[in-house]
Structure formats: C-alpha cells, structure tokens
Structure 1
Amino acid sequence: MTAGTAGVAGVRASVVSHQLAHVGVLVRLGLRRERILAPITVVLFVLINVSTARAISGMYETPQQRLSLQAGPGANPAFRFLLGELTHVEPTAALVSWRAGLFLIAALGVCAAMMTVRQTRKEEELGRTELVRAAAVGPLAPAAAAAAVATLFVVIVSGAMAVILLPLGADAGDAVAVFAQYASTGLAAIGVALVAAQIATTSHIANLTASSVVLLGYLLRGAADATDDWAWLRWTNPIGWAEQIDPFGNNDLLPAVLSVAVFVGGTAIAGRVAVHRDLGAGLIAQRRGPAASSRLPRVESLAVRLSRSLLLAWAAGIFVYALIIGFMQPSVADLAQGNEQFDQVMRAALGDATLSTLFGMTMLGFLAVAASAWGVNLAERLRAEESAGRAEVILTTPTARGRYFLTYTVIGAVGGVTLVIVAAAGMVLGSGIAGGGWSRAATNAAQTGAVQVPAMLVVVAIALALYAIRPSLAHVGWVVVVGALLLGPLSGMFDLPQWAADLSPFTHTPLVPVDPMRATPIVVLIGVAALFVTTGWAIFRRRQIG
C-alpha cells in the first residue's frame, strides 16, 4: 500500500469514526429505554409459541391425524393465506412452525420496525436527539445505536423461537433455518424502518410506513400461497423470502440473503440521508394546519382532532386482520377432520354450537384485547402531549383539569367500542365473502362483540388511570394488556389456577352465544371501569402537570 493510499484510508476511517462517535453510549441508553417493553415482547413471543406447541402436540399425535391436517386445513386456501403452505408434517416442530411461523415472523417485523422508529424519529420528534447531538456525538450514532438495539432484540426472539423447536424433533439444520426466517425478516424490517424514520417528520407516519411495508409483504405472500398462479409474489417481499427458506425441507438460507441486503441497503440510505438533512426535517411532512380555526373552540374538538389519525390507524389494522379471520371462519371445521378425539371434546364443550361459532367468539375476544391496547396508545399520546408542554398550554385556558381528563377518557371509550365494532364487521364481511352466510354471522358477531366491551373498557380505564397517577406509568399499560391476554383468552393453554385467570377482566365475559347472557358480570365490569376512571380523575385534578 502506498503512502497516499494509506493516507486516504486513514482519512476515511477518521471520518467514519467521527460520524459514529459515542455510538456505544447511545446503545446502552437505548437498551435502558427498552428494559421494560422489549423483555415483555420477548416473553409474549415465547409464550405464544409454547402454547401453540402444546396445542399441536395434543391434537395431532398420530401420522394419520397429521396427514388429515395436511389434506384439510393445510390445503384450504383460507388457511394457506394466513399460515402458508403445509408441506411438512414430521416432526411435531414442523407443524408448530407452520401454525405460528409466518404470522409471528410478520409480527416480529412490525415490532422491530416500531422499536427502530421509537429509538430514532420518536427521540428526534421529542427534541432529545438534538440535545444528544449537541454533545460530541456523531450524526450517524443515533441511527446506528437504534439499529444495534433492534438487531439484538430480533436475534434474541429468533433464537428463542428456534430453541423451542428442538425438543419437538427439530434438528440443528431445521433450527438454524427457523432462526434465519425470523432474523432475516426482522433485519429487513429494521432497514425499512431506518429509512422511514429519515423521510417522515413524525414517529406516527414513520411507524405507519414501516409497518405497512411489512404487512403488505405478509398479504402478498398470502395471495401467493392461496393462488398457485400468483406464486411469483413470494419473491417480492421479506415474508415471502422467509417462507422460501423452507425449514424441515430444503433449509435453503439463500433467500435470507435478500432480506439482509434490504437491511444493509436501508442502513446505507438512512445513513446518507441522516448526514445531509437537518434535524427535525423529512421528505414526508405533516400538512400544516391553518393559523386559526373556528372548528376547534373547545378542548373536546381539539382532542378529537388530535386522536383521529391514531384511531384510524388502529381501525385499519384491526379491520384487515378481522377480514382475514372472517375469511377463514367457514373453513375452521376442517380442523376436526380426521381427529375424532378433538371432535368429541369440541362437541362436549359446544353442545349445539358449531366449531365455527367458537372460533369467531374466540377471535373476537383476541381482537377486543387488541382494541383495549388502543387505550394504552392514547395514554402514551397524553404523556407525549404533557412532556412537550402542550397539555400545560391547554390547561392555562379556562379548561378545567377534570374536563381535560374526562374528554380523553370518553375518546378512549368511544374509540375502543368503535374498534370492537370494526372487528365484528370485518369478520362478518370476511365470512360472508367466503360463503359462510351473513345473517347468523352478523348476529353472533354482534352478541360476542357487545359482551366484550365492558372488559375492554376496564383495560382502557386502567391505562388512563396509570397516566393520571404519573405520566411515566403510561407504558405499564402494555403490561396490563399482555396480562389481560395471558390470564384471559390464553389462560387455558397454561393450566393457570382460577384465581389467576380471574385477574383478567376478559375471563368474566359471558360466553355468548355459546352460553346464555348473564348481566351480573357486565354490570360489575362497568362498575370497575367507572371506579378506575373516578380514581384517575381525582388524582389528575391534584397532581403537578409537566
């Protein structure tokens, strides 16, 4: 190497070192910020996969049962759309990977994207990145640190999902292939999110953009699996590339290289944009509103305006998922095909009701839990408004504190009810399109959705009460949502004692239309929700703002 070449290389290394200055400090800071939410997410992924493994192991023990599963649900276009093709039925790990794999892989991509945005654009939006950059921190350090933290999260989840399959018959090659599915998709999502965080001016737009890319890939992959003529769509997105790895079959790791290339390319593009743009700037900006408005004369109008886009994003996501679930509902009876034991258990539990009815009731319960998570998101939005000083500005007007809190409480309740209605409508529409009928599906969905509302309101009320007590407690609402899910709709998978299951408000929801309607739990749940709202209202009126 000549002296000139060595000099150029030294200058380039110096420039890179300057641009990444103190990235290690930001990595440690990012890990600290994720110390609560990230572990909860990892545990949730593990528990879902473990519960799936337990269910599959008990339902399909013999080769005949597994072949019937492959010939029934595995060949059904609706199940192929949601779960992918079932090409391998041995060992048990292959069934578990099929049952939970592609959906959880897409979910990991969304979680990784949101974590990346939370560590980049959200910090910039709140003004903290500007404070950090005022020190001796390189312009690429925040994005690099966010990528490192999100990558660690993806690797941990991917490793856990692969290790779980080892006792179920997966060999080392199969486990590596499953790890590659999760890890490569998560990395691709990080790359997309890094770019979205650079081109969007708000974390909301960045989250929506990155998550939409991941979910669009999931839908394109589903269309490819449901229709053989569209098989080429698998090669258009990271979810399809993950499926092409084919664990328990070819174990081909080459498609994972495409996702890694998306990660590398996204990182490079985001880095170049970050170096040249101003802090707070972006290519996709929110439309500026008018300097004055007669349409926002009261705090209620302003609160609705600020919460509208957030609710629409939740409604769109829940509706799409409910539509897919509804499309599967008429075919769910195929699950019992060739499995007499499972069929007998279901008949004993359901009586005259059908397996399709139980499926719809169960899935609406899950979607009601998701609707309650909207309340946590709203509480976090309230915390952001307070941290930015905007809540204090509003409260300097004649607006009373109690009125401010109750306004957002009403929005949280109305938004949650709206999401339950959207979920029920999506399932009815999907079921009708798939040939499952309209009138009975609509009646069952209306009854099931209605009885889920009080439990949903309890979770929303708890989330807002936590914010009222202390803004930093708003994040604890996610723990409440996860607990309500694990102790409620999923409690039967973990053989939990009844006292533990009773902690979830969704445990007390009447099993309509399988069981008769009971008014007592509905009244009690509404009373509990009112108690939390009253407590939050009383505390918020007295605590310090800001």
Structure 2
Amino acid sequence: MSVAVSCTELPIRTSRFAGTRVLLGPASRAERVIAPTTVLLFLMINAATAGSIVSMYPEAADRVALQQGPGANAAFRFLLGPLQSVESTAAITVWRAGLFMIAAFAVCVALAVTRHTRRDEEQGRVEMVRAGATGRLAPIATATIVAVVYCVVVGLAMSLMLIPLGAGAIDVVCVFAQYATTGMAAAGVALVAAQVATTAHLANLTATAMVLGGYVLRGAADIVDGWGWLRWLSPVGWAELIDPFGADDLWWAGASILVFVLAVGLAGVVAERRDLGAGLLAPRPGPASTTRLADVGAVAVRLLGSQAVAWTVAIAVYALVVGAIAPSVDELAEGNQLFADVVGAAGVSASLGALFTSTMSAFLAVAASAWSVAVISRLRSEESAGRVEVLLATPTSRSRLYLAHVAVAVGGVVAILVATTLGLGVGTAAAGGDAGSAFADAARATAVQLPAATVIVGSAMLLYGLAPRSAPAGWLVVLGALLLGPLAGMFQLPQWVRDISPFTHTPTVPLEPVRGTPLIVMLVVAVGLIAVGRAAFDRRDVG
C-alpha cells in the first residue's frame, strides 16, 4: 500500500545560520554609502590632525612644550587622555585624535549593527526573510560579519597611515587593536541591545549610552587621582590601557574581544528563545482613548517627545562635562605669553576658558541641528508604514503635517541649545568658575548658533519634502556642516569652501561682537528652504 504525503507536511529543517551568505548581499548594499563615507571621514580627520601637528610642532622642543602645557591640562586629559609620548608625529596624532575618535567609531559600529538587526525586524524585513529557508540566527550572523569587516577596515586604515609618520610595527598593531577591538565590543553590546529592546531607537540609545558612558568614565579616571580603576570598566578604557607608543599592552585588546564573543553568544541565545518583535525594553502602550491628540501637532510631539528628551539630556550632560573642565583651560594661559598674545591679537578681553566655551558651543550646536534629521527619519518611517497616508485621509492637510514636524524640529533644536547653555553654566560654576560670567558667556555663545542650526533644519525638511528616500542624506548635510564649519581649520580649506557651512558665518562670541546681518540672512535662508520643501511635499506622491 502506498501512502501519499503532501509536501506541506514535511518539515523543512534548516541550519540556524542558513541564508547568511545570501543576506550579506543586501547588507553590503545597504552600507555602500554609509561605510565608505565613515572610513573616508576618519582618514581625513586623522590626516588633517597629522598635518596640523607637523606645522605647529616641527621641533622636539615644541613637542615637549605641548606635553607640558595642553598635554598636562585636566581638560585635555579628560577629552583626549594623557600625552605620554612625543617622540614622533604619529604618537601625537594618536593622542590628538585617538580616544575620542575610537569612541565615535564604536558608536558608528553600534548603529550599523542596529540597522541590520532590530531596525530590519521593526520594519518587517526580518519576518519576510525568515519566511524562506533562512536560519533563525542568520540576521545576527550577517550583522556580526558586517561589523567585524567594518572594524578591520577602519582599524587598518587608521593604523597603516601612521607608518609614514614614524610609527613602529608594534605601535601600528596596537592602534589597529584599539579601533578594531573596541568597535567589536560595541558591536557585541549593540547585538544584545537589539535583542532586548523592542525598537531600533531604544537599541541605539542603549548601545550608545554604554559606549559614551565608558568614554566619560575613562575621562574621569584621567583627571581624578585614585580613580584609575575606572579604566578597567569599559572597552574605551581598555583601549587607552593598550597605550601605543608606550606600554604596547595588547592583553587589554583581548578583554574587548572576550566581551564581543560573550555578547554575540548571548544575543544568539536570546534570539533563539524570543518571539519575533518581542523584547524586554518595550515602549509603554498608550491609553485606549485620549483627548491629548487633538491635532497633527500633538501627534508629532507624542511620536518624537521621548526621543527629543533623550537628545536633550545627552547633549546637556556633555555640555555639563565641558563646562566643568572650562575653568581648568584658563590654567594654560597663566604665565604663558603665547596665549596672552593670541587673545590680545583678537582685540577682546575674553579668557581662554570663554573661547573654549565658544568653540565647544559650535560643536554642540551641530549636534543639536542633527535632531532635525532624526525628525525626518521618523517621519519617513511613518510614511513607509502607511500611517502618514492615514493621517492625510482625515481633514489634516499636507501643509499642517509638514509644518507640525518643522515646529517639532525647530523646537527641539531650541530646547537642546537651552539645555546646552544650562549645562555649560552649571558645569563651570560647579568647577569653581564665576557663575555669572559662565552663564552669560554660555548664553551668548549658544544663542548665536540658532540661525545656523535652523538652516540645517530647513535643509533636512527640504530633503524629506522632495522624497522620503532622501532623508538619510540629512546626515551628510550635518557632516558637511561640521567638516566645513567647526572642523574646517583642521583641513586648511579655502574660505569659499568653508562658506558653504552655515556655522562658518556664525559670530564666534565672545571672540568677536555679534553681527546681525549674517544671522538674519541665515534665518531667511532657513525659511526659504522650509517653504520650498513644503511646496515639494504638497506635490509629490505619499508612500
């Protein structure tokens, strides 16, 4: 007797990692712009740093003065770590761009891992992939491979370029280990965060907080006697303990690799046991009915409010740290005729600490303007999910929807700049600085940054108005504004190139008096960009 068996009754058994090779193709395609841009950016900053060191410290005596001056200052030790070796340009380059760049790269790796795990799962792509003959762990394996390749490429790029600058073989290996293993540890943390959190936003916040928290702990260990043990608590601290051009201790790289291996294993275990879309850190569900969402503006605030608070708190904390170390910057000018001549040549009676606050305010303003890109990214997700179309099916007009998000973007930037002012002022006052002048300098330095930040808001909203797929290009706008504005001096760019960034036209208060004309022009430009974006959004298809 023969028995007919339907094919649907036969279980399809696949390996846990089946389909990983196939998934690497789309993952590589998704990174085809972001990854090369990141590698190029890190190389450019490192090369510009090396070039500035060669021109500013050509002699051994100049480098010793750097070590005994800024290298011994608490502010620079917090931001960059101690300057222990001045034997070569490579050693000083690693100090000037080392730990901060390592932490920044670790954040980039964490964001990349989240893009290929929780964000794909949140948008339904993982469910669609898993419907085929794909293993449960294939998405995690794909993200892990992408992250490791990312770390190796950047580690090689950042270390090999030091060879012409005087780095020895062991020093090159140690610098490679700093970038590669710290990035791998961040990737492991992000993999676990992507399994625990239920949204890509929460996963990004968790992983980024872990990396930046380690950077802050490492900074505290460098400026407070007896707190050196804080370096043992994070991969960023372990990267410092590797100490290229000094101890060359590669054992600490093994600690980061161990974290990576354990985190990947933990993420795999959790992924095999949880339901798709589930997690421990879930957003609290809203009430079944409410009167608080009476219009589209209230909806925009509800969707973006928690994210705005997270951005504001994060930048305020960093501003607090910057403010706390500002008084120690003035110590550099005490008895130093060079600094006195520089400040005197500026024609103002500003302290070096006030100039430091002004410079850092520009960097924080760029970070504040990046909030607008987060707004259009969320709006793009809402449109992709079909919820914007549902809103527009009500009496809500396109203009109201667009302008509501413009208001949230501008309001968020203002809130972040206000928080920056408070952080700088409170930090300076808590560190023993003059509270009155600290708040006054911080308020003026951040207030003049608002018009430039609104130009970035207008650019971001214009990109979304033209097409939702253009939203990621907003990050390139922010990056360009940073490189051509606050960081332009590192690259020795011609003035006409610097003028592309709106932050170039912002008065450097208190180094120079406030000039109303550029501020008014930038506000007009911002309004024009928003108006053009609104017109484009009114005419294009939604969805």
* TM-score calculated relative to the size of structure 2: 0.94
Contact 2:373–2:471 at 8 Å: present in 1 too? yes
1:171 matched to 2:196: no
TM-fit CA distance, 1:228: 2.8
Contact 2:348–2:512 at 8 Å: present in 1 too? no
Runs of 5+ unmatched residues, structure 1: 1-13
Counterpart residue identity of residue 30, structure 2: R
Counterpart residue identity of residue 62, structure 1: E
TM-fit CA distance, 1:340: 5.8
Q: Write out aligned runs for 1:39-438 (5 A).
A: 39-335=36-332, 344-349=341-346, 351-438=348-435
The 1-side partners of 2:398 and 2:285 are apart by 28
Tell me what 1:7 maps to: none
The 2-side partners of 1:117 and 1:500 are apart by 34
Alignment RMSD, CA only?
1.9
TM-fit CA distance, 1:483: 1.0
The 1-side partners of 2:422 and 2:53 are apart by 30
Counterpart residue identity of residue 159, structure 2: A
Counterpart residue identity of residue 395, structure 1: L
Contact 2:348–2:510 at 8 Å: present in 1 too? no
Q: Deviations over 1:103-123 (max 9, x none)?
A: 111111111111101110000
The 1-side partners of 2:345 and 2:318 are apart by 30
The 2-side partners of 1:353 and 1:173 are apart by 44
TM-fit CA distance, 1:334: 4.7
The 1-side partners of 2:23 and 2:334 are apart by 54
Instruction: Check 1:51–1:351 CA distance in 2 against 1; reply closer, same or farther (3 A cut).
Output: farther
TM-fit CA distance, 1:527: 0.7
Q: Identify the range of structure 1 (442-451 vs 199-208) with the bigger mean alpha-carbon deviation.
A: 442-451
Q: Deviations over 1:44-68 (max 9, x none)?
A: 2222222322333333333333333
Counterpart residue identity of residue 460, structure 1: V
TM-fit CA distance, 1:350: 5.3
Which of 26, 31, 35 does residue 29 from structure 1 map onto? 26
The 2-side partners of 1:24 and 1:319 are apart by 43
The 2-side partners of 1:260 and 1:148 are apart by 14
Tell me what 1:545 maps to: 542
Q: Identify the range of structure 1 (170-179 vs 33-42) with the bigger mean alpha-carbon deviation.
A: 33-42
Contact 2:316–2:419 at 8 Å: present in 1 too? yes
TM-fit CA distance, 1:261: 0.7
Tell me what 2:489 maps to: 492
Counterpart residue identity of residue 283, structure 1: L
Q: Match of 1:19, SS? A: coil
Contact 1:64–1:338 at 8 Å: present in 2 too? no
The 2-side partners of 1:491 and 1:224 are apart by 31
Counterpart residue identity of residue 253, structure 2: A
Counterpart residue identity of residue 470, structure 1: A
The 2-side partners of 1:198 and 1:95 are apart by 40
Runs of 5+ unmatched residues, structure 2: 1-11
Contact 1:155–1:183 at 8 Å: present in 2 too? yes
Instruction: Check 1:461–1:150 CA distance in 2 against 1; reply closer, same or farther (3 A cut).
Output: same
TM-fit CA distance, 1:346: 4.9
1:509 matched to 2:506: yes
Tell me what 1:439 maps to: 436
Counterpart residue identity of residue 73, structure 1: P
Q: Match of 2:323, SS? A: helix
Contact 2:451–2:522 at 8 Å: present in 1 too? yes
Q: Deviations over 1:260-288 (max 9, x none)?
A: 01111111111111122211111222211
Counterpart residue identity of residue 250, structure 2: L
Which of 460, 479, 484 does residue 482 from structure 1 map onto? 479
The 1-side partners of 2:342 and 2:445 are apart by 22
The 2-side partners of 1:496 and 1:246 are apart by 32
The 2-side partners of 1:325 and 1:56 are apart by 24
Tell me what 1:451 maps to: 448
TM-fit CA distance, 1:158: 1.7
The 2-side partners of 1:475 and 1:461 are apart by 15
The 2-side partners of 1:457 and 1:444 are apart by 21
The 1-side partners of 2:76 and 2:314 are apart by 19
Counterpart residue identity of residue 457, structure 1: T
Q: Identify the range of structure 1 (193-202 vs 68-77) with the bigger mean alpha-carbon deviation.
A: 68-77
Q: Identify the range of structure 1 (211-220 vs 110-119) with the bigger mean alpha-carbon deviation.
A: 211-220
Counterpart residue identity of residue 121, structure 1: R
TM-fit CA distance, 1:130: 0.7
Counterpart residue identity of residue 170, structure 2: G
TM-fit CA distance, 1:70: 2.8
The 2-side partners of 1:360 and 1:257 are apart by 38
Q: Identify the range of structure 1 (248-257 vs 491-500) with the bigger mean alpha-carbon deviation.
A: 491-500
Tell me what 2:469 maps to: 472
Counterpart residue identity of residue 266, structure 1: A
Contact 2:343–2:349 at 8 Å: present in 1 too? no
TM-fit CA distance, 1:164: 2.9
The 2-side partners of 1:47 and 1:335 are apart by 28
Q: Match of 1:229, SS? A: coil
TM-fit CA distance, 1:428: 1.6
TM-fit CA distance, 1:336: 5.9
Q: Deviations over 1:46-96 (max 9, x none)?
A: 222223223333333333333333333333333322222222222222222
Counterpart residue identity of residue 449, structure 1: T
The 2-side partners of 1:499 and 1:95 are apart by 30
The 1-side partners of 2:137 and 2:331 are apart by 53
* TM-score calculated relative to the size of structure 1: 0.93
The 2-side partners of 1:336 and 1:60 are apart by 18
The 2-side partners of 1:314 and 1:395 are apart by 29
Instruction: Check 1:92–1:333 CA distance in 2 against 1; reply closer, same or farther (3 A cut).
Output: farther
TM-fit CA distance, 1:357: 2.2
The 1-side partners of 2:90 and 2:475 are apart by 30
Identity %: 54
Contact 1:368–1:452 at 8 Å: present in 2 too? yes
Q: Match of 1:86, SS? A: coil
The 1-side partners of 2:406 and 2:284 are apart by 27
